[in-house]
Amino acid sequence: MTNITFEKILDKLIKAKLIKKSNLPEIENHIESQYGEQHLSPLVQTLLGIGVLVAALCFMAFFHVSEIIDIKSASHLLTGGVIFVVLAIIVLRATGKKGGIIKQSIVTKIAFCLMALGKIMFVVGWELYFPSNFGWSIIVGALIVTISTYPLFNINFERLLSVAFVLITLFFKVVDMKAALIVNALFLIEALVFGCLFLYTKTKNEYMPITYATVSAMIVQAVYSSAQLGVTHHLYLNVILAASLVALIIYLAGGIKKALNEPLILASLCAVGLAFLSVPVVLLSICLMLVGYAKHNNPILIVGTALMPIGLLVFYYNLQTTLLDKSVILIGSGVLLLIGRAYISFRKLDVEV
Amino acid sequence: MANTNINRRVIDSLFSHNIISNEAKDFALTLLYPKHNWGLWVSRMLLWIGISLILSGIIYFCAFNWAIITPLMKFTSIQLAIFTLIGLSYFYGLEKVIGKVFLLTASVLVGVFIAVFGQVYQSGADAYTLFLTWALLILPWVVISEFAASWIVWMVIANLAIILYSVQVGSYIVRDMMYSNLIIFNSLFLVIKEYAVLHGASWLSSRGIRKALVIAIIIFAFITAINFIFGGFYLADFVGAGLSLLVHVMFYFVYRYKLRDIFVVSITTISALIILEAFIIKVMDEFINYKSWTYTFSIGFMTLGLTIFATAKLRMLAKKMENKND
């Protein structure tokens, strides 16, 4: 990290016309109000979020046991679901994110609990009201409630869970139907959405949960496909991911002209090679690591890094060959990577700028 | 504002509150972290992944049935690899990361050698002896390497030795005390680590090591506490519960007032609250039918209440702790 001062950063932002001088008081007020407030780490926030979900499920059990709501009745569930969703929105918007830490904590957690309860009841009620053979009702119900609440309920963790639920259940339903083309199309759409939203510099904060949800869905799909035996199960995903990796290299280099140098051409060729030799999880891991590093996004970088050993494990476990052949492939791959490293070192590309 | 510590968190906070745009956020972060050291980063990634692949390949090679390869060849190849790696480590020097990585790789191959030795001679020794011997043999290398990754690998091997000893060989009391032993062992290492960092061992100062150790210790402490609450009242359970209490209290106070790490305080607090809730549920089980509405409502209300309490408490603590750091 550099020693640049905050005033200099603001100065440069004004000169680049990314903020106006009139924004400065708002920025100062925000800094002062937030001063000394550390955000809790994503792991801690996730654990707390899980606590709220558990509470929501307990309340659902309470409603059923007390016979206030009959969980076998579609109309009860749909009505109850809508009421709780509306209540959640009212609680959050009426009190907002203003106020002290205690008030904020109480309001956001209660609102989150009400929303979780409402959505679960609505989706289950929808499925009971419109039963379908393949469970499409659950997806449609979840989609309706996600789209309708997304602009109104601005707790990003809840938005992320909601969107991820829709995408992941959609994936498993399509897999159930054995519609390989749709599975691959779904992955392509998710990759495009993630790429557009995450890399586009003008993406608003409200849409960031969608990017994380698409990443979650892509990870589930990639792991599932990688675990399937046989190359054809993941060849199309490999092609999509390899193309994404090449596009990413070009984007990060700053355009095709700038990407036409030896190291980047080699990197692109390796990406193409990986499409035929590797599994989706490994390619997805590399994409996420690159994107996370480029955009200074630690969660994406960490997830990408953590995916790599999982990908390698899945790949070599499912490889239909002897342990001896697997060991040769592993050692050969490792040696190739070390040769790549030696090349970078030889070209002095690993010198800190 | 002149004294504001500007870092990624401040920029992210401005963006998350829609005060600056995504573009402005990226611009500011690039100013703060201006060096896209792609070459260096890719080089390190290739090194780690390459070494991991080679090591995995060697392990697969050992798992393969070596019926056609003589024991002499097996031992020779692994020993040759170990000596080559030691030589490379010496050549590059332990001041460089690559030298440390080679020494770490040699350490892993020592384990492979011991496994092959056991396979060839069919000594009938329990698996824990492999891990125990491995840990003892590589300890001097781990110490001189001053490399956090080596210590993490060593800790994993040592923990596995304890677990396998408890499960395979230990008496009933040793088996029951397995988690307690793991708590003691890992806590001892954490204390040594923190002491070493305070006295200049900067290579151990990575927060990742502390987080990994704390999470492991808290998980073991959590298990012992839950065992005590829902299990029988044996001596091992009492000891485990006592250790769990001690761990939670010590972590809270040390990392709240002395070392100031909100992550450790958060994990400790959440673990303690879940244990508290488990205890209350156990008590409720004695008096209330679990199928009654009182039971479900109480649990839901208690869970939500504890989550709200944890959130508010931790956020206030975080603010206080950062204020005192300035």
For residue range A44-78, list pLDDT tens digits in order.
888 888 899 899 999 988 988 888 888 888 899 99
Closest-approach residue (CA) in chain A for B51 = A334
pLDDT at residue A306, rounded to an integer? 87
Identify which has the larger pLDDT, B184 or A130: B184
Is the pTM here over 0.90, yes or no? Answer: no
Rounded to the nearest 10 degrees, the angle between the axes of helix B235-253 and helix B178-198 is 20
Residue closest to B33 by CA, chosen among A299, A295, A286, A248: A295
For residue A27, the chain B residues in CB contact (below 8 A) are 14, 19-20
> What spatial distance separates the first Cα and last Cα of chain A, rounded to whole Å?
13
Q: How far apart are CA A250 and CA A271, in angstroms?
A: 12
**DSSP H/E element including B290:** none
Identify which has the larger pLDDT, A315 or B77: B77
How close is the nearest chain A Cα to the Cα of B306, in Å?
8
Residue B225: pLDDT band with limits 50, 70, 90? very high
Residue A234 has, within 13 A of its CA and on its CB side, a CA count of: 31
- Secondary structure (3-state) at B186: helix
Q: How far apart are CA B288 and CA B299, in angstroms?
A: 12
B63/A323 touch (CB, cutoff 8 Å), yes or no: yes
Closest-approach residue (CA) in chain A for B29 = A296
How close is the nearest chain B Cα to the Cα of A64, in Å?
8
Rounded to the nearest 10 degrees, the angle between the axes of helix B22-32 and helix A6-15 is 130
Cα angle A316, A317, A318 (rounded to 5 degrees) comes to: 90
pLDDT at residue A36, rounded to an integer? 47
pLDDT tens by residue, B244-289 = 999 999 999 999 998 889 899 999 999 999 999 999 999 988 888 8
Question: DSSP string spanning B5-74?
Answer: ---HHHHHHHHHTTSS-HHHHHHHHHHHS----HHHHHHHHHHHHHHHHHHHHHHHHHHS--TTS-HHHH
B50/A334 touch (CB, cutoff 8 Å), yes or no: yes
Q: Would you say B277 and B302 are in contact if contact means Cβ atoms under 8 Å apart?
A: yes
Q: Would you say A209 and A163 are in contact if contact means Cβ atoms under 8 Å apart?
A: yes
pLDDT at residue A177, rounded to an integer? 82
Inter-chain CB pairs, A–B, below 8 Å: 269
B319/A101 touch (CB, cutoff 8 Å), yes or no: yes
pLDDT tens by residue, A278-311 = 778 888 998 998 888 888 788 888 889 888 888 8
Structure token digits, residue A299? 């969660």
How close is the nearest chain B Cα to the Cα of A348, in Å?
8
Structure token digits, residue A341? 């490293």
A52/B304 touch (CB, cutoff 8 Å), yes or no: yes
For residue B36, the chain A residues in CB contact (below 8 A) are 294, 353
For residue B311, the chain A residues in CB contact (below 8 A) are 40, 48, 105, 108-109
Q: Does any CB of chain B come closer than 8 Å to the CB of residue A3?
A: no
Question: How many CB atoms sit inside 10 A of residue A156's CB?
Answer: 15
Q: How far apart are CA B273 and CA A345, in angstroms?
A: 51
Question: How many CB atoms sit inside 10 A of residue A353's CB?
Answer: 9
pLDDT at residue A98, rounded to an integer? 63
Structure token digits, residue A260? 């036409």
Probe site for chain A from B9, B22, B92, B277 (most A CB atoms < 10 A)? B22
> How far does Cα B210 stand from its chain's mean position?
7
Of A326-340, B35-49, B66-80, B284-298, where does mean pLDDT reach its minimum?
Answer: B35-49
B19/A309 touch (CB, cutoff 8 Å), yes or no: no
Interface of A with B in 285-314 (CB under 8 A): 289, 293-296, 308-309, 312
Q: How far apart are CA B302 and CA B207, in angstroms?
A: 33
Residue closest to B206 by CA, chosen among B219, B195, B193: B193
Closest-approach residue (CA) in chain B for A24 = B19
Q: Would you say A38 and B39 are in contact if contact means Cβ atoms under 8 Å apart?
A: no
Question: How many CB atoms sit inside 10 A of residue B48's CB?
Answer: 17
Q: How far apart are CA A123 and CA A166, in angstroms?
A: 11
Interface of A with B in 218-257 (CB under 8 A): 252
Region of A205 on the Ramachandran plot (φ > 0 left; ψ -120 to 50 alpha; else beta): alpha
Q: Would you say A149 and A89 are in contact if contact means Cβ atoms under 8 Å apart?
A: yes
pLDDT at residue B66, rounded to an integer? 63
Identify which has the larger pLDDT, B79 or B17: B79
Residues of chain A with pLDDT under 70: 1-3, 32-39, 96-99, 133-134, 229-234, 319, 351-353
Structure token digits, residue B231? 């299990």
Closest-approach residue (CA) in chain B for A14 = B24
Quick check: B185 pLDDT over 50?
yes
Q: Does any CB of chain B come closer than 8 Å to the CB of residue A14?
A: no
Quick check: B124 pLDDT over 80?
no
Quick check: B326 pLDDT over 50?
no
Using CB atoms, which residue from B6, B17, B61 is nearest to A9? B6
Question: DSSP string spanning A264-282?
Answer: HHHHHHHHHHHHHHS-HHH
pLDDT at residue A97, rounded to an integer? 58
Using CB atoms, which residue from A2, A18, A109 is nearest to B311? A109
**DSSP H/E element including A341:** helix A323-346
Name the amino acid, one letter, at A275: A
> What spatial distance separates the first Cα and last Cα of chain B, rounded to whole Å?
14
Q: Would you say A292 and A201 are in contact if contact means Cβ atoms under 8 Å apart?
A: no
Interface of A with B in 159-218 (CB under 8 A): 200-205
Structure token digits, residue A75? 């109309």
Residue B140: pLDDT band with limits 50, 70, 90? very high
Closest-approach residue (CA) in chain B for A331 = B54
Q: Would you say A125 and A78 are in contact if contact means Cβ atoms under 8 Å apart?
A: yes
- Looking at residue B289, the DSSP 8-state letter turns out to be -
Residue B103: pLDDT band with limits 50, 70, 90? very high
Question: Which residues, in sequence order, are CB contacts of A294 under 8 Å at separation 6+?
Answer: A252, B36
**How far, CA to CA in Å, does A169 sit from each of A126, A208, A218, B146?**
15, 20, 12, 47
Of A25-39, A300-314, B5-19, B57-71, where does mean pLDDT reach its minimum?
Answer: A25-39
| Average pLDDT rounded to a whole number, residues B119-134 | 84
Using CB atoms, which residue from B15, B31, B307 is nearest to A205? B15
pLDDT at residue B302, rounded to an integer? 92
- Secondary structure (3-state) at A35: coil
Structure token digits, residue A202? 């003008």
Q: Does any CB of chain A come closer than 8 Å to the CB of residue B212?
A: no
Residue B61 has, within 13 A of its CA and on its CB side, a CA count of: 21
